[in-house]
Structures are given as structure tokens and as C-alpha cells.
Amino acid sequence: MKLNLPCTLSVFLLLLFINCSDDDIETPLSDINTFTLTKADGTAFEPTEFSFEINSDSIFVTLPPLESKTNLKTKILHNGEHIVPENGSVLDFSNPVQFAVFNSEGKEKKYTAVVRYSRPKNTMFIGAFNRYFALDSQKGTLKWSFSAPAGSFQYSTAFFNDNVLYVGSTDDYLYALNASNGRLLWKYRTNSSIESSVYVSDNTVFFGSDDDIFYALNATTGELKWKYTTGFNVSSSPKVSGEIVYFASDDGNIYALNKTNGNLKWKYSVGNIFNSSSCAIVENDLYISNRNGSIYKINKDSGQLIWRSVLGSSGEASSPTISDGYLYTTDRSFLYKINTSNGSIVWQSYNAGNYSSSAYVNENYVFASSSSGNITVLDKSTGNTRWQKTIYSNSAEPISVNSTVYTGGGGYNHIYAFNESDGREIWKYPINSINTSAPVIIDKDGKLHYPTKSGARD
């Protein structure tokens, strides 16, 4: 007998298919299609400042700044039988939360939900006369600006935290701005100009004012937590280390206060003003300079002097930078490299135009501005001048990020970006201001870079 093989095979496969039970067909896992959060009472967030991203096993939610991650209500669309935690739950998203979607067979698909705040990239934040700017740091184009018609942002260096930019102005206000679009979140009024830079720690904003008072505000609401009255202006910037906040006042004292309640731990008198010179802290040591032309190294726990190094003139315009065991600072005529172990000078570089900013230091170079209008770049190891450029920076402090130097050149009414190695101009942005603050940069990877005068710099 001759068999028709193709026909026989077809019949066999058909019988096999018929005999297969429905139980042998696996039901696909269920998915989350949309994931929205609201406030506990169901109030929606501003759509332009809220977003979500769903991946194969993770969900990333971006909240508007200053909105709490606790007590958020879920609004989820999915194609499963049910979800755990159930839809409409009010949850705490301070830490990642796991969700499981179950299909008709009870099989689950898990997602981890992370709530975060936005973090702009390639952004330069810098203040000028009555306006604060956010620029694209690669292109030199405007992202946004915030106007304060009665004040200037040329002194205070901003602090970035959870997509909020905190910065002081000479109109007596401390401002909290949305770092993505410049929207005003809140403002707090002191009794005088704010020249001090800002430091944020444990939901507290620390800064000084020319009303002689040092302030601690709630970072979310702008409400006063505590304040401490000194004997004169507080234009020096704060630094938090551990449970203590450190700053200097023009009454000639360095102060160490409990950051929670403002109680005095110690103070050290140097007998002259500090102006904008602010402390650098490395391990247990605090470094600072002032108008009497000295650099001080002080034990940050006890307030006891370790050494004092006398320079040639006032260091009130310069905050020390510590790098690889050496201290870099300026007085009016020289930029110094100093041994931190004993205060001895390793090299000093003369500037006929008078230095007028802090020194910014990276792996290879030292950067500073002068009263004559030059930005000067020195070799870190030798102190030899690498290049100079006249931009009439008017004491604007430079910062270098990923081989690009950023600084204000108010005398020429521009903000600049230069190539770090040779000073070639990359871009410039026009401003109506002869002075600018020190810039803060968020690079292409989202990393923050602060200038020397900010207590936030590592």
C-alpha cells in the first residue's frame, strides 16, 4: 500500500491540535499602561511639571519641585485582573514601591516605581543685575530668566536641590525657583541685602544677610526655623559639616552653630572683617581668610587655631580651595599655593591688575579674575601663566567643567565660555549687567559643579 505522506502528516497535526487542551495555552502576563499620581485628596499636579515613564519592569515618575513624595494617590490603568497595591491607594514614595499586576491565571508581573524630581542637564545658572539666568552650557542660549526689578543677583551663589534653585538678592529676598523653568516657588524677606551664598541641608536653607543675621529656613515652605544675630554683616557663605553649620561675620568672628536649633558651639575671633571670604572644610580642618591678610587653619570641632599664615594683603575677596593637600587662594596682588600641613607658601603668582576673586582649581589649572578685567589661568604645579583674557570680569569668579571655563564678563556685558587649555572663545551671551555672580553648572551627565565661594563645592 502506498502512503500519501503529506496528507497523513496534515491529518496528524490536525488531530494533535484538536486534542490540545486550552490549559496548554499560556495566558500572557498583564501590563501597566499608564501610571499617574495625585495628591492624597485627588488634586492633580501641573501637567507641564509631571511626567511618567514605564519600562519593562520599572516606572519613573517626575514630580514638580517641593511636592512631597509621601501621601501620593495612585491612578493606574492596566490590562490585568487586579493590581497590588490596589489602584487608588495613598502611598509613601520616599523609597521605591513595588507593584504587581495579576492576570486571569493569578500570575504576576512586577514593576518598581521610583518617584524623583527633574534634573536639567547642560545648564549654567548665573545671576546678574535684577535678573537670574539659566543658559544652555554647551550652546550659550537662554533657557529661562527670572526678574527681580528692585534687586541684583550679582553676589549670591545659588544652591540646587531637588530641582529647586535657592538664591539671594540685594532686594532683601531669598528666592526659591523651579530650576527647570524659573517659576517662583516662594520668597523670604530679610531686613537687608543678601550677598551670602546659600547652603541646603536636611530640608533647611542656610544663608546670611547684611542685616547682621544668619538664617535657617524650611526649604519646602520658606518659613523661618531659627535665626542667629551677629555683630555685623554676614556676606560670607555657610558650610555644613556633620551637625554643625559654619560661617563668618564681618564682626570678625567665625561661628559654629548647631544646624538644628542655631545654638552656638564655638566662635573664633580674628579681629577684622571677612566680607565674601568663606570657609573650606576638609576632614576636621577649617580654612578661611579675611581683610587682615591672613589664612587661618582651625580645628572645626574645637574652634582652636592650628596655624596662621600671613599673606601680603587682604584676602576678603577669596575663599580658599583645598586640592591634593594644598591650599589655593588670592590676595590683591598674588595667587598662592600653600602647604596645608604647616601654612608655608609653595609658590605665588603676581598679578599687576590685582586679583579680585577666589581661585578655582581642577586637575591641571588654577583660574581667577582680576580687578583689571583679566581672567587668568595658571599651571597648577608651577604657578606659571597658561593664558589670560581681558573681558572686564569685574571680580566674577570662574569655574571650569569638562574642559570649558565659564565666567561673567560684565564689563563687556556678556557671559562667556572659553576653551580651558588655550582660552579660545566657545560662546558668549549678552546681558545688561556689569557684574555677575559665580556660576553653577549641571553638566551633560547631570553632575553638579559649584564655584569656590559656595560651601557646596567638594
Q: Would you say residue 61 lies in a domain?
A: yes
Residue ending a domain, among 78, 96, 117, is: 117
Q: Would you say residue 3 lies in a domain?
A: no
Amino acid, single-letter form, for residue 109:
K
What value does the mean pLDDT take over residues 389-414? 88
Residue 15 pLDDT level (bands cut at 50, 70, 90): very low
Residue 367 pLDDT level (bands cut at 50, 70, 90): very high
Q: Would you say residue 394 lies in a domain?
A: yes
What value does the mean pLDDT take over residues 99-103? 96
294 closest CA partner among 271, 323, 264: 271
d(CA 409, CA 355): 15
What value does the mean pLDDT take over residues 342-353? 91
278 closest CA partner among 201, 338, 196, 216: 196
Q: Would you say residue 435 lies in a domain?
A: yes
Give Cα 244 to chain centroid, integer Å.
20
Residue ending a domain, among 87, 117, 147, is: 117
Lowest mean pLDDT among 3-17, 31-45, 85-99, 204-218: 3-17
Residue 227 shares a structural domain with residue 171: yes
Residue 158 belongs to domain with CATH number: 2.130.10.10
The percent of residues above 90 in pLDDT, for the chain, comes to 83
- 155: containing domain: 123-449
Residue 353 pLDDT level (bands cut at 50, 70, 90): confident
Q: What is the 3-state secondary structure (H, E, C) of 213-253?
A: EEEEEECCCCCEEEEEECCCCCCCCCEEECCEEEEECCCCE
Residue 101 shares a structural domain with residue 157: no
Is the per-residue pLDDT at 4 higher than 60? no
Residue 70 shares a structural domain with residue 131: no
pLDDT of residue 14: 46
Residue 458 pLDDT level (bands cut at 50, 70, 90): low
Mean confidence (pLDDT) of the chain = 92
Element (H, E) at 18: helix 5-19
Report the number of distinct structural domains present in the chain. 2
Is the per-residue pLDDT at 387 higher than 70? yes
What value does the mean pLDDT take over residues 50-77? 96
Is the per-residue pLDDT at 363 higher than 60? yes
Is the per-residue pLDDT at 62 higher than 90? yes
Q: Would you say residue 129 lies in a domain?
A: yes
pTM (two decimals)? 0.92
Residue 243 shares a structural domain with residue 362: yes
pLDDT of residue 370: 86
Q: Would you say residue 10 lies in a domain?
A: no
d(CA 80, CA 32): 8
Give the tens place of pLDDT for each residue, 244-254.
999 999 999 99
Residue 288 shares a structural domain with residue 386: yes
pLDDT of residue 273: 92
Give the tens place of pLDDT for each residue, 316-327.
989 999 999 999
Lowest mean pLDDT among 109-123, 200-214, 393-407: 393-407
Residue 411 shares a structural domain with residue 332: yes
Residue ending a domain, among 95, 117, 139, is: 117
Residue 249 shares a structural domain with residue 325: yes
Q: Would you say residue 73 lies in a domain?
A: yes
Q: Would you say residue 18 lies in a domain?
A: no
d(CA 87, CA 75): 6
Give Cα 12 to chain centroid, integer Å.
70
The percent of residues above 70 in pLDDT, for the chain, comes to 94
Contacts of residue 26, defined as CB under 8 A and 6 or more positions apart, other chains included, come to none
Residue 305 shares a structural domain with residue 403: yes
What value does the mean pLDDT take over residues 334-358? 92
Contacts of residue 343, defined as CB under 8 A and 6 or more positions apart, other chains included, come to 295, 297, 307, 308, 309
Residue 49 belongs to domain with CATH number: 2.60.40.2340
